[in-house]
Amino acid sequence: MLKTTLVVLAVVGLCGCSTVKPWERDLLAKPQMALDSDPLQTAFEDHIYFSKEASSGGRGFGGGGCGCN
Amino acid sequence: MQLKNKQIGKRLTLATSALLGSLQAQAADDWEVSSALLMYSEADDRVQAVEPVLNLSRQFDDESSINVRVIYDALTGSSPNGAMPASVAQTFTSASAAARIEQAEEDDDEEELEKYGDRGSYTIAPGDLPLDPSFEDNRTVLSLGWTRPLSNGYTMNLGGAYSSEGDFTSFSVNGALARDFNNKATTVSLGLNLEADSINPNGGVPTALTMYGAGNTDGSDDTKQVVDLMLGVTQVMNRRWLMQFNLGLSQSSGYQNDPYKILTVVNDGNLIVNPDDPESYLYLFENRPEDRQKMSFFWQNKVAIGADDVIDVGYRYMTDDWSVNSHTLDLTYHWQISEGLYLEPHYRYYRQSAADFYTPFLNAGSEVEVVGSSVTALVDEASSDPRLGAFSADTMGLKVGLALGSSSELSLRYEVYQQHDDNSLKAVAAGSHLDGMSQFAELSASWVQLGYTFRW
């Protein structure tokens, strides 16, 4: 697990020298390219899955604030 | 050009700092209002929920932004009480309904009495899943967030949330710091969330692993504290590919039980008459460890296809010290049909292993000692909560988005969720009350989400 993490971090680090220039970011700047393109939808999903499954979090902090355990 | 680049840079910073809040790109000094309504429904008259959300966000000239969100959640319906279906009828006395009735009688609240008067106890027909029909709650959540760029490529985010429902209150504060590198192609962030919960179950906190109906309680309320730490890296891979990687650690301490969940106790697969109450059978309140440590690994990719389409692929691995390991795969395709219309088909696959103390029921003799009217659990922890069992689940859905002018959007989404039992069967004596009964209640649910966003 930790190993995987380090490997991915290393890969990300190596790719860090991205050659994408600011004026080439037209596609990346589109709203549908946002990592969380619909935050309210994400909040609904987090709440649903938090209350029906044993896992939570990942994208953000593990959904608390709910007595649904 | 310079101005445009600045705008794009700003938008990208916002887009890539998902951990630091989720503001969409927006013009400065404009309020962006997002509202959504969720209508959630489980099959077999289980939980039904209606959840409206209002989100206000505003970006200022100095590129700082604030976010305010209010959520209301109204829940009704039936929830599994944790007992096994059996070949005989079972009668339960709902502690939560009984507590509500008692309170209503004290307050002379006729409306509440009418609602709960006949729910103090309920009988489940042979072969049916025991569902507690008194499940009802309202939840209100208020959350605030403030994001501010600092010097040297750093961005700071501070936030807090308050959530309240009938038997549960939660407070949390969070902070995160992010830094951009490589001309904003890389963003590294570190976030911390502290949460304090207070649980005050209807009817008091039941003493763990004691007889249901005996009324043993450990006071009226208990607490839980959660600390979350998250390290995130966002990377622009190329002109079309954006990647995010998060590592999350979570430590939860305190009351982790579901105070309304019980377990059936059987003798060779047959229900045991409650030594204190010949009208009912023997059930014990569940118990979970007081600590839980979780670790999650999340990897997301957004890939632009053509001019406007986007593939979103996410994977999460989670593991905890309760022996729950889970894999989640999430796929969405953003299909831009025309400038003002898009479709998003969605598929999610989820699979989890069971917590090591998960068991559909308890056996007298090996797990519970029953001698006359003395009942003693021989296990330290046990829960039959299906959320802690082994299962896989599929979610399929479709979203339609429609732009209304240049600054507002309407969307509609429909999703269907189905769980599949992956637990191995716990042995049951042939011909006994539990013989042939389902040991895991697979959940089927669907929901509709309506969203409307506008700038103002």
Residue A68 pLDDT class (50, 70, 90 cuts): low
> What is the tens place of the pLDDT at every residue in B303-318?
999 999 999 999 999 9
Q: What is the pLDDT of residue B213?
A: 85
- pLDDT of the residue at B21: 32
What average pLDDT does this structure show over B217-238?
96
Structure tokens at B188: 């590294």
Q: Does B234 touch chain A (CB under 8 A)?
A: yes
Please tell me which residue of chain B has the smallest CA distance to A68.
B258
For the segment B424-456, what is each residue's pLDDT rounded down to a tens digit?
A: 999 999 999 999 999 999 999 999 999 999 987
Complex prediction ipTM: 0.90
Identify the pLDDT of residue B427.
Answer: 97
pLDDT of residue B147: 96
pLDDT of residue A11: 56
Asked if pLDDT for residue B355 goes beyond 60, the answer is yes
A27 touches chain B (CB under 8 A): yes
> Residue B19 has what pLDDT?
37
Please name each of the domains of chain B with its CATH number: 2-82+137-209+225-262+292-354+386-455 (2.40.160.40)
User: Which pLDDT score, from 0 to 100, does residue B8 have?
Assistant: 40
**Residue B5 pLDDT:** 42
CA B313 to CA B330: how far, in whole Å?
Answer: 6
pLDDT at B173: 96
Q: What is the pLDDT of residue B416?
A: 98
Say if residues B172 and B145 touch (Cβ distance below 8 Å): no
Q: Which of B1, B2, B7, B11 to mutate to test the interface with A (most CBs of A within 10 A)?
A: B11
Q: Give the pLDDT score at B115.
A: 62
Q: Which residues of A touch B387 (CB under 8 A)?
A: 51-54, 69
Q: What is the pTM of this model?
A: 0.89
Q: How many CA atoms lie within 13 A of B272 on its CB side?
A: 27
Q: Which of residues 111-170 of B touch A (CB under 8 A)?
A: 137, 139, 141, 161, 163, 165, 167-168, 170
Q: What is the structure's pLDDT at B263? A: 98
Name the residue of chain B whose CA is nearest to A42's CA.
Answer: B22
Residue B7 has pLDDT above 50, yes or no: no
pLDDT range class, residue B12, cuts 50, 70, 90: very low
A52 to chain B: which residues are within 8 Å by CB? 387, 417, 419, 443, 445
Better pLDDT: B50 or B151? B50
Beta bridge partners of B147: B65, B157
Residue of chain A whose Cα is closest to the Cα of B410:
A38
Q: Which of A55, A8, A59, A48 is closest to B395 using CA atoms? A: A48
Shortest Cα distance, chain B CAs vs residue A57, angstroms:
7
- A14 — contact with chain B (CB < 8 Å)? no
Tens-digit pLDDT profile for residues A8-65? 555 555 554 557 887 888 899 999 999 999 999 999 999 999 999 999 989 888 655 5
pLDDT at B109 (0 to 100) = 77
Which residue in the set B38, B199, B419 is minimally distant from A44, CB to CB?
B38
Per-residue pLDDT for B232 more than 90?
yes
SS3 assignment, position B60: coil
Q: Determine the pLDDT at residue B1.
A: 34
The structure tokens listed for B114 are 């009418």
**Which residues does chain A have within 8 Å of residue B172's beta carbon, measured at their own beta carbons?**
64-65
Amino acid at A42: T
Contact B170, B197 (CB under 8 A): yes
Which residues 6+ apart lie within 8 Å of B359 measured at CB?
Answer: B263, B367, B382, B383, B384, B426
Residue A58 at interface with chain B, using a CB cutoff of 8 Å: yes
Which residue in the set A23, A49, A67 is minimally distant from B167, CB to CB?
A67
Determine which of B16-20, B99-103, B451-455 has the lowest per-residue pLDDT on average. Answer: B16-20
Question: What are the tens digits of pLDDT across the range B367-424?
Answer: 999 998 899 999 999 999 999 999 999 999 999 999 998 889 999 999 999 999 999 9
Name the token pair of A66: 């709910």
What residues of chain B lie within 8 A of the CB of A43, using their CB?
A: 53, 69, 71
pLDDT of residue A22: 78
What is the tens place of the pLDDT at every residue in B104-122?
A: 777 777 776 666 665 578 9
% pLDDT > 70, chain B: 90
**B246 and chain A: CB distance < 8 Å anywhere?**
yes
